[in-house]
Amino acid sequence: MVSVVYGVVTRYFVGRADPRAFFLSVWLYGIVSVLAGGYLVATEGHVYIDLVYKRLSESARKAMDILSLVAIIAACAVIAVPGVQVAWRSTVINEVDSSLGIIFAPPIWWYRWVAVAGVVLVLVQALELLYRRVRPR
């Protein structure tokens, strides 16, 4: 919020926006969004299609949960493997965002690791939730 307020104030008083404020607010929003995925899965806050889900029997709900968790785990695994490769390559070359030229070229290699961390958190939470669904009670 501070970066957005700063951007608005500089645009109002100076007459032009500071692009760093825009980039910072986008990065912070991205970090919160990506890292919130693991929390969402951990608290089982993901959205079900209640119209169908609530009408199913307990065993059918369990089967639907298992199927959706397996799909989430597979998707996370498919995304995480190349994500680590891209993040590693970005770290090695110390990648920067050069979209604004030499005026403002912040390093973005760390941001790639945030995306990988978010996917891994969702993967770990989905594995834990799958274990809870399939273990005998």
CB 118 within 8 A of CB 41: no
Contact 93, 111 (CB under 8 A): no
Per-residue pLDDT of the chain (137 residues; tens, 9 = 90+): 788 888 888 888 888 877 778 878 888 888 888 888 888 888 877 666 677 778 889 899 889 889 989 999 999 999 999 999 999 999 999 998 877 776 778 888 998 999 999 999 999 999 999 999 898 77
Which ranges in the chain belong to alpha helices (H)? Answer: 2-14, 19-42, 50-53, 58-92, 109-134
Which amino acid does the sequence have at 114?
V
Q: pLDDT digits over 95-132, tens only?
A: 988 777 767 788 889 989 999 999 999 999 999 999 99
User: Percent of the chain beyond pLDDT 90?
Assistant: 39
Mean of the per-residue pLDDT values of the chain: 86
Residue in 37, 24, 26, 29 with CA at minimum distance from that of residue 117: 37
| CA gap 116, 20 in Å, rounded | 24
**Per-domain residue ranges for the chain?**
2-134
